[in-house]
């Protein structure tokens, strides 16, 4: 019985993990149709912000919840102004430019911080569930994944800024005609998307090894989650993360991590074949 | 036709701009001896490659300060294969054919070694492989300094079983090194009358270990043996500690500490108590090591690299080669190899090292250490450990022309 | 107005340059440089495969590496077990092409397009990569050849003269053979592009709906284009395997696919020469980067890529072409030569 609870909790955690990885990318891709291939490096930057600042004495939670999103958000705005702005509508060029950016970031972080960076331990300890133990931090991850999704949804649905953002997303020309400064909207969107990514990277820092090249293994999962989800930011990410995360985690429990990984990829393939515009291209079409 | 090629070159704008940054290898006068260093300085393996290169350069400096070799200065030729196999093969060929180096230190993963070893064998350039690996290389042209499972795993398993018990759970990286090491673990465990309850393999980019941690809890082993490799796998130690398992089940590793910065990426709470076994730790207590560490600190005062077996062995490789050149009186490959195969004992920071003439692998002192407050403290040492696994398949005295990497079947 | 192929000077210049290089190269250039250029030749074939399906078929694949790797492994396994390399070369085209048909059918008949297509191709490549890495143990072997997992397959035989398994090609002959392959592939692609089939493909690339409304079967067309590209990529994979004498799962890596994309983008989508230049430029640059102790190679490569995309959005060849045409027009006007356009005055 406890084993079943553990499995269920792990599955939810796997979903939360994918949501965290994909949320920032979904915001940027969903709103701006820009492919940010440096997404993994933005995550890495968030992670590094946390390990470097905690190494300098800053409180862990301040680093994760405040510094990481702030630093990466500002970095995102700078990147948007300098690079992405020239490339709107040119999806492929944005892909290649951001691929160059990712190499630049990996090399740059290596140069600046080298390989003598301390890690951050996972806060809290374990919690007993029956005869098993599980990190309390799993709940932290689940909580923040849900919080991020809720916050973005609330902003988009209930605030004026969200309304403007949605208008720009649906019809940029019309929005411009109505006097909305789409340039600012894009900048803010990219900034917020980066900040969310930075937060995710910061949250991940206590559970994985933070090294300059850590983005490489994370970017694949992020992309697959976002694209399989389709155009809608919240619903898409949530639905694809749920399907992919739970199936792959269940397979991992049953047959080991190799098959769990393979399962995620195969399920993504099948989903894309059946729903070639992503899940929210066909289902939940007009959702956020 | 050379004109045509240059024409193509010029039309690539960026390339033209950077053609100004032409290779800064000094095509020096004939009175330097060139030594090649082929370590990854960028890409996924740079965390390991950069300290190796730093030690390589330091060793060159040390040799030159002592008067050089055969009256000439030693000059390093350093290329960065960027963790990319085809660059390894290109640079190796270049070093052998164009730069005509007298010896090469390099290669980190087995894949990179197997790419360049045949090239150096073909062009008769002496090659030192200084990384610990799975054993089995039989090639007179390669001197293999690093430890093999018969030296390390063979020691740590009985030690851990004595300490903790007979039931083991293995977690390993899902590629050749992981598979071979877990096979060795199984063999040594069973030799001691124990049992490997299960072995799980993880692809190199897996970062979530929740399910495995639960499974280990269900299986209740006496200790866990980890052959996990890479930064994503560090997450395993993190998540293990986070689940509160550190106090419950002890852990040993055949990999942690190999590259030199794992011990600081993990915090003290996460790392304390993990046992590891290698041919070198910074804590080794002998005058050569004291001098070595002082020199490292003097040479690199900021961001001093932590020394691990892999970087210290690079130093060993350089020193052994330099000594052989002095004794042979020349850099000619066969003369140098003849001196090395005599099997003399060297006093190096890791202890006493001798090259086995049968396999051209190192017979060396092996240590078991425990991670405590982010440094390793030595618990046990085993002098003169033989590379028994390679000795099973390789005999260079009987067959000096051998040129193969055997996969030792267990 | 499309000029017929035989009247296009650019085509003949390319062929002549290629032939000259092929015949005179090993005579005039030293062996080490020849070996370097051989690498560029092999990768150029790979680049051409993507240049064709993307530039002339409108299919943006993030996963050409899947076929590259398939061809390489197919060649490695069959040449080691057969001992002769002739049939393996054929297989290295056929097997990836067959897989391309299957994958193409899966994708195009499912109406996948643009970025979703890209992700599917990326996922397929990832699957291959993971599979290849997983095959470390002795139980993973095909036709008696160990797949070797992460370490790959070593000691792949060099191409030999058909029928004589011991007559290997030396580096000069290998270079000539590969140059020959490159020229054949280039010519074949140009012919294909100029043919009716090719024009339909370009039409599909321009506007899929219109082509469909004109009565062409888009899906069938795309599958064929995709399969041809896959076969060529596979062939280049085999060339790569024999050139390096070893192959490892990196052939399936994201990096390999990304490089193909960069070569084509930097060189110019919609040309065949451009990607070849892209190969030469970027490979040479990567090689130089590793030899110079100047910053971190990734920093420099990344910066160059970004500059390339921002400054030369159309890619090298089209940009230089337009620069060239602009310069030529300016020069002619400067010499007072009439531009050939009649001025319209009120007298007419």
**Do B28-147+284-365+391-397 and B153-253 show the same overall fold?**
yes
What phi, psi does A111 have (nearest 5°)? -65, -45
* CA distances to A261, A267, A287, B7, C119 from A243, in Å: 14, 8, 18, 54, 17
Examine the pLDDT at A56 and tell me if it is beyond 50. Answer: yes
Indicate the angle between helix axes C316-334 and C273-291, nearest 10 degrees: 110
Asked if residue C297 is part of any domain, the answer here is no
Q: Judge whether B302 is closer than 8 Å to chain C, CB to CB.
A: no
The residue among C119, C122, C293, C311 with the most chain A CBs within 10 A of its CB, best to mutate, is C119
**Looking at the DSSP assignment, which residues form a beta bridge with residue B196?**
B168
Taking one residue from A and the other from B, the number of pairs with CB-CB distance under 8 angstroms is: 148
The minimal CB distance from C112 to the residues A108, A258, A276 is found for A276
Q: Closest Cα partner for C258 from A219, A201, B339?
A: A219
Chain B residue with CA closest to C284: the answer is B15
Per-residue pLDDT reduced to its tens digit, A74-130:
999 999 998 888 887 777 778 778 888 988 898 888 888 876 566 787 888 778 888
CA-to-CA distance for B213 and B230, rounded, in angstroms?
18
Spell out which residues of chain A touch residue B51, defining contact as CB-CB under 8 Å. Answer: 115
For residue A261, tell me if it sits in a domain.
Answer: no
Residues C190, C205: Cα–Cα separation, whole Å: 17
CA distance B377 to chain C (A): 33
Q: Which pLDDT score is estimated for C208?
A: 86
Question: Chain C residue closest to A229 (CA)?
Answer: C116
Q: A115 CA to chain B: closest CA distance, Å?
A: 6
pLDDT given at position C78: 92
CB contact B174 to C (< 8 Å)? yes
The CATH number for B28-147+284-365+391-397, chosen from 3.40.50.2300, 3.40.120.10, 2.40.30.170, 3.90.650.10, is 3.40.50.2300
List the single residue in A with minimal CA-CA distance to C111: A276
Interface list for A 191-250 with C (CB within 8 A): 216, 220, 223-224, 227-228
Residue-wise burial string across A229-247, b where 16 or more C-beta atoms lie within 10 A, e elsewhere:
bbbbbbbbbbbbbbbbbbb
Of the partner residues C119, C296, C306, the one whose CB lies closest to the CB of residue A227: C119
Chain mean pLDDT for chain A: 87
CATH-assigned architecture of domain B153-253: 3-Layer(aba) Sandwich (3.40)
Minimum Cα–Cα distance from C43: chain B residue: B86
Q: How many Å from the N-terminal Cα to the C-terminal Cα in chain C?
A: 27
Subunits with 3+ Cβ pairs within 8 Å of A are B, C
* Dist CA C229 CA A136 (whole Å): 51
**Which of B2, B8, B23 lies nearest to residue C292, judging by beta carbons?**
B23
Three-class DSSP category at C165: coil
Are B242 and A214 inside 8 Å of each other by CB? no
Q: How far is C230 from chain B (nearest CA, A)?
A: 22
Say if C143 falls within a structural domain. Answer: yes
Q: Tell me what pLDDT residue B387 has.
A: 92
Query: Residues, chain A, total?
Result: 288
**Bridge-partner residues for B227, per DSSP?**
B172
Residue A47 makes CB contacts below 8 A (sequence gap 6+) with A68, A201, A202, A204, A205, A208, A210, A214
Of B203, B265, B306, nearest to A257 by CB-CB distance is: B203
User: Which chains have 3+ CB pairs within 8 A of C?
Assistant: A, B
**pLDDT recorded at residue B125:** 94
In a domain, C289, yes or no: no
Tell me whether residues C300 and A269 touch, CB distance under 8 A.
no
Question: Is there a contact between C288 and B23 if contact means CB atoms under 8 Å apart?
Answer: yes
Residue C249 domain-assigned (yes or no): yes
A265 vs C127, C301, C308: nearest CB: C127
| pLDDT for A152 beyond 80 | yes
**Number of neighbouring beta carbons within 10 Å of residue B113:** 21
The answer to the question of residue A74 being in a domain is yes
Cα–Cα dist B154/A56, whole Å: 41
Does the beta carbon of B87 lie under 8 angstroms from any beta carbon of chain C?
Answer: yes
Tell me which residue in B215, B242, B267 faces A126 most closely, judged by beta carbons.
B242
Pairing of strands B275-278, B345-348: unpaired
Residue C12, CA distances (Å) to B41, C9, C19, C187 in order: 44, 5, 10, 10
Q: How many residues does chain B have?
A: 410
> What distance in Å separates the CA atoms of residue C193 and residue C179, rounded to the nearest whole number?
21
CA trace torsion B2, B3, B4, B9 (10° rounding): 90
Task: Give me the phi and psi of B170, to 5 degrees please.
Answer: -105, 135
Neighbours of C319 (CB within 10 A): 16
Cα distance between residue B43 and residue A213, in whole Å: 7
The three-state secondary structure class of B266 is coil
Chain B residues touching residue C306 (CB < 8 angstroms): none
How do the domains of chain B map onto residue ranges?
Answer: 28-147+284-365+391-397, 153-253
- Which of A41, A119, A254, A259 has the most B C-beta neighbours within 10 Å, making it the best mutation to test the interface with B? A119
Q: Which residues of B touch A217 (CB under 8 A)?
A: 204-205, 207, 232
Residue of A nearest to B48 (CA): A115
- Model pLDDT for residues B192-226, shown as the tens digit of each residue: 999 999 999 888 778 888 889 988 998 999 999 99
The percentage of residues in chain A with a pLDDT greater than 70, rounded to a whole number, is 97
Q: What is the distance between the alpha carbons of residues C97 and C91, in angstroms, rounded to a whole number?
A: 9
**What is the rounded CA–CA span in Å between residue B263 and residue B369?**
12
Which residues in C lie closer than 8 A to residue A84 (C-beta atoms)? none
CA-nearest of A83, A73, A4 to A42 is A73
For residue C281, give how far its alpha carbon lies from the nearest alpha carbon of chain B (Å).
Answer: 6
- Determine the residue among B10, B13, B94 to mutate to test chain C binding: the one whose Cβ has the most chain C Cβ atoms within 10 Å: B13
Q: Where are the beta strands (DSSP E) in A53-140?
A: 126-129, 132-135
Q: State how far residue B382 is from chain A, nearest Cα, in angstroms.
A: 30
In chain C, residues with a C-beta closer than 8 Å to the C-beta of B178 are 136
**Chain C contacts of B14, Cβ < 8 Å?**
281, 285, 304, 307-308
Residues of B in Cβ contact (< 8 Å) with A256: 200-201
C313/A90 CB distance under 8 A: yes
Contact A168, A180 (CB under 8 A): yes
- DSSP labels for B130-161? -S-----EEETTEEE-S--TTTTHHHHHHHHH
Select the residue of B86, B87, B114 nearest C151 (Cβ to Cβ). Answer: B114
Helices (H), chain C: 9-28, 31-50, 64-82, 86-108, 114-134, 171-194, 196-206, 208-213, 218-244, 254-267, 273-291, 297-311, 316-334
Structure tokens that stand for C152 in this block: 């790959």
Specify the DSSP class assigned to residue A115: T
Model ipTM? 0.79
Chain C closest-CA separation from residue B286 CA (Å): 35
Which domain covers residue A114, as residue numbers?
2-214
A216 touches chain B (CB under 8 A): yes
List the single residue in C123, C131, C261 with the smallest CB-CB distance to A269: C123
pLDDT digits (tens, 9 = 90+) for B102-114: 999 999 988 889 8
The 3-state DSSP class for residue A146 equals helix
Residue C241 lies in a domain: yes
Number of domains observed in the structure of chain A:
1
Q: Is the pLDDT of residue A175 over 70?
A: yes
Nearest to B175 by CA among B209, B146, B201, B147: B201
Kindly determine whether residue A97 and residue C262, on different chains, have CB atoms separated by under 8 Å.
Answer: no
Question: How many domains does chain C divide into?
Answer: 1
Contact, B223 vs B250, CB < 8 A?
Answer: yes
Q: Chains B and C: how many Cβ contacts under 8 Å?
A: 137
Q: What tokens does B127 get?
A: 């090659």
Q: How far apart are CA B14 and CA B206, in angstroms?
A: 37
Of C115, C122, C295, the CB nearest to A111: C295
Using alpha carbons only, what angle is made at residue B312 by residues B296 and B35, rounded to the nearest 5 degrees? 90
* Residue among B140, B183, B145 at smallest CA distance from B404: B140
> Which of B176, B403, B409 is the best substitution to test chain C (most C C-beta atoms within 10 A)?
B176
Q: What is the pLDDT of residue B37?
A: 95
Please list the pLDDT of chain B residue by residue as tens digits (410 residues): 333 444 333 333 333 333 333 333 334 446 899 999 999 987 778 888 889 999 999 999 999 999 989 999 999 999 998 878 888 988 998 999 889 999 999 999 888 898 899 889 989 999 999 999 988 899 999 999 999 988 999 999 999 999 999 999 999 988 778 888 899 999 999 999 999 999 998 887 788 888 899 889 989 999 999 998 877 788 888 888 888 888 889 999 998 888 767 787 788 888 899 999 999 999 999 999 999 999 999 999 887 888 999 999 999 999 999 999 999 999 999 999 999 988 889 999 999 999 999 999 999 999 999 998 888 999 999 999 999 989 989 999 998 888 888 877 77
- Boundaries of domain holding C44: 5-266
Are A99 and A33 in contact, with CB atoms under 8 Å apart?
no
C237 lies in a domain?
yes
CB contact under 8 A, C154 and B94: no
- The pLDDT profile of chain C, 348 residues, written as one tens digit per residue, is 455 777 778 788 888 888 988 888 888 888 888 888 999 999 999 999 999 999 998 898 988 999 999 999 999 999 988 888 889 999 999 999 999 999 999 888 887 777 788 888 988 998 898 888 888 777 788 888 888 888 788 878 888 888 777 788 888 889 999 999 999 999 999 999 999 999 999 998 888 889 989 998 889 999 999 999 999 999 999 999 999 888 888 889 887 888 888 888 888 888 898 899 989 988 888 888 777 766 677 787 788 778 877 887 766 667 777 777 888 888 888 776 555 555 555 554
- Whether A179 is in a domain gets the answer yes
Question: Which residues from chain C sit within 8 angstroms of residue B8, using beta carbons?
Answer: 277, 280
Other Cβ atoms closer than 10 A to C244: 22
The full DSSP string for B343-404 is: --EEEETTEEEEE-TTTSBEEEEEEEEEEETTEEEEEEEEEEE--HHHHHH--TTT-TT-EE
For position B260, what pLDDT does the model report? 66
Q: Would you tell me which residues 25-54 of chain A have a C-beta closer than 8 angstroms to some C-beta of chain B?
A: none
C-alpha to C-alpha distance for B12 and B329, rounded to whole angstroms: 48
Compute the average pLDDT of residues A22-26.
93
The partner residue sitting opposite A133, judged by closest CB among B204, B245, B270, is B245
Asked whether the beta carbons of C155 and C246 are under 8 A apart, the reply is yes
**Any idea how long chain C is?**
348
């Amino acid at each position: 019985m406890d084993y079943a609870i553990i499995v269920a909790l792990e599955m939810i955690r796997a979903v939360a993990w994918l949501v965290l990885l994909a949320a920032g990318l979904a915001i940027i891709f969903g709103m701006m149709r820009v492919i940010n291939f440096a997404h993994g490096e933005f995550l890495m930057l968030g992670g590094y912000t946390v390990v470097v600042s905690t190494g300098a004495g800053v409180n862990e939670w301040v680093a994760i919840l405040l510094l990481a999103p702030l630093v990466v958000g500002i970095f995102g705005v700078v990147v948007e102004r300098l690079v992405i702005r020239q490339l709107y509508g040119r999806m492929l060029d944005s892909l290649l430019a951001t691929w160059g950016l990712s190499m630049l970031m990996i090399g740059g972080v290596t140069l600046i911080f080298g390989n003598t960076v301390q890690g951050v331990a996972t806060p809290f300890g374990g919690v007993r569930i029956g005869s098993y133990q599980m990190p309390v931090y799993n709940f932290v991850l689940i909580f923040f994944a849900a919080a991020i999704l809720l916050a973005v949804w609330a902003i988009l649905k209930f605030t004026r800024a969200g309304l403007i953002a949605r208008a720009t997303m649906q019809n940029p020309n019309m929005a411009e005609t109505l006097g909305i400064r789409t340039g600012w909207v894009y900048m803010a969107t990219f900034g917020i998307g980066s900040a969310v990514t930075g937060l995710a990277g910061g949250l991940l820092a206590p559970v994985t090894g933070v090294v300059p090249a850590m983005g490489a293994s994370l970017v694949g999962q992020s992309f697959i989650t976002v694209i399989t989800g389709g155009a809608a930011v919240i619903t898409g990410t949530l639905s694809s993360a749920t399907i992919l995360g739970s199936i792959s985690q269940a397979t991992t429990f049953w047959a080991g991590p190799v098959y769990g990984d393979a399962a995620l990829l195969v399920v993504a393939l099948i989903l894309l074949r059946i729903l070639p515009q992503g899940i929210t291209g066909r289902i939940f079409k007009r959702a956020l | 036709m050379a004109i045509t090629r240059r024409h193509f070159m010029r039309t690539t704008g960026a390339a033209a701009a950077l053609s100004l940054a032409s290779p800064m290898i000094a095509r020096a006068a004939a009175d330097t001896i060139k030594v090649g260093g082929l370590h990854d300085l960028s890409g996924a393996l740079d965390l390991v490659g950069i300290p190796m290169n730093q030690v390589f350069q330091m060793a060159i400096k040390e040799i030159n300060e002592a008067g050089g070799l055969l009256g000439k200065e030693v000059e390093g030729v350093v290329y960065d294969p960027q963790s990319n196999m085809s660059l390894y093969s290109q640079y190796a060929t270049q070093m052998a054919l164009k730069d005509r180096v007298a010896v090469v230190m390099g290669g980190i993963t087995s894949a990179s070694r197997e790419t360049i070893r045949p090239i150096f064998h073909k062009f008769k350039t002496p090659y030192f492989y200084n990384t610990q690996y799975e054993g089995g290389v039989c090639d007179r042209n390669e001197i293999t300094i690093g430890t093999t499972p018969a030296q390390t795993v063979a020691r740590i398993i009985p030690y851990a079983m004595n300490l903790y018990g007979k039931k083991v759970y293995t977690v390993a990286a899902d590629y050749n090194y992981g598979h071979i090491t877990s096979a060795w673990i199984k063999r040594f465990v069973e030799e001691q009358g124990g049992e490997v309850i299960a072995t799980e393999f993880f692809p190199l980019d897996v970062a979530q270990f929740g399910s495995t941690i639960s499974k280990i809890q269900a299986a209740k082993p006496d200790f866990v043996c980890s052959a996990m490799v890479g930064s994503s796998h560090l997450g395993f130690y993190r998540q293990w500690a986070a689940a509160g398992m550190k106090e419950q089940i002890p852990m040993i590793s055949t990999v942690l500490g190999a590259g030199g910065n794992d011990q600081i990426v993990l915090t003290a709470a996460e790392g304390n108590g993990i046992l590891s076994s290698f041919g070198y730790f910074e804590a080794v207590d002998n005058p050569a090591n004291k001098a070595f560490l002082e020199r490292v600190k003097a040479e690199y005062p900021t961001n001093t690299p932590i020394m691990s077996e892999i970087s210290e062995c690079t130093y060993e490789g350089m020193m052994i080669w330099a000594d052989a050149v002095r004794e042979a009186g020349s850099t000619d490959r066969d003369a140098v190899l003849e001196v090395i195969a005599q099997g003399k004992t060297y006093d190096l920071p890791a202890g006493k090292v001798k090259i086995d003439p049968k396999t051209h692998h190192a017979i060396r002192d092996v240590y078991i250490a425990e991670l405590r407050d982010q440094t390793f403290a030595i618990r046990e040492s085993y002098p003169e450990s033989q590379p028994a696994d390679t000795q099973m398949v390789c005999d260079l005295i009987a067959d000096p022309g051998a040129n193969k990497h055997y996969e030792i079947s267990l | 107005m499309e000029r017929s192929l035989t009247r296009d000077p650019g085509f003949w210049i390319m062929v002549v340059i290629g032939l000259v290089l092929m015949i005179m190269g090993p005579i005039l250039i030293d062996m080490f440089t020849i070996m370097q250029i051989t690498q560029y030749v092999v990768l150029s074939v790979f680049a051409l495969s993507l240049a064709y399906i993307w530039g002339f078929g409108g299919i943006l694949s993030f996963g050409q590496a899947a076929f590259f790797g398939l061809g390489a492994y197919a060649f490695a396994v069959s040449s080691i077990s057969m001992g002769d390399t002739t049939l393996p070369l054929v297989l290295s085209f056929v097997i990836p092409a067959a897989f391309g048909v299957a994958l193409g059918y899966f994708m195009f008949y499912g109406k996948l397009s643009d970025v979703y297509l890209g992700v599917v191709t990326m996922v397929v490549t990832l699957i291959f990569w993971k599979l290849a890495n997983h095959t470390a143990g002795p139980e993973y072997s095909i036709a008696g050849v160990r797949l070797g997992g992460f370490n790959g397959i070593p000691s792949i035989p060099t191409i030999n003269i058909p029928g004589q398994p011991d007559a290997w090609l030396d580096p000069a002959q290998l270079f000539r053979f590969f140059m020959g392959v490159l020229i054949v592939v280039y010519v074949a692609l140009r012919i294909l592009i100029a043919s009716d089939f090719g024009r339909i493909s370009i039409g599909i690339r321009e506007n899929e709906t219109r082509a469909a409304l004109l009565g062409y079967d888009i899906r069938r067309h795309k599958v064929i284009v995709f399969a041809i590209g896959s076969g060529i990529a596979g062939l280049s994979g085999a060339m790569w395997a024999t050139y390096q004498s070893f192959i490892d799962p990196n052939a399936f890596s994201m990096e390999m696919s990304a490089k193909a994309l960069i070569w084509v983008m930097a060189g110019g989508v919609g040309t065949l020469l451009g990607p070849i230049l892209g190969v030469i430029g970027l490979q040479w640059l990567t090689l130089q980067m590793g030899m110079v102790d100047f910053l971190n190679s990734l920093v420099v490569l990344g910066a160059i890529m970004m500059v390339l995309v921002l400054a030369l959005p159309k890619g090298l060849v089209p940009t230089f072409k337009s620069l060239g045409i602009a310069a030529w027009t300016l020069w002619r006007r400067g010499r007072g030569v009439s531009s050939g356009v009649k001025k319209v005055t009120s007298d007419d």
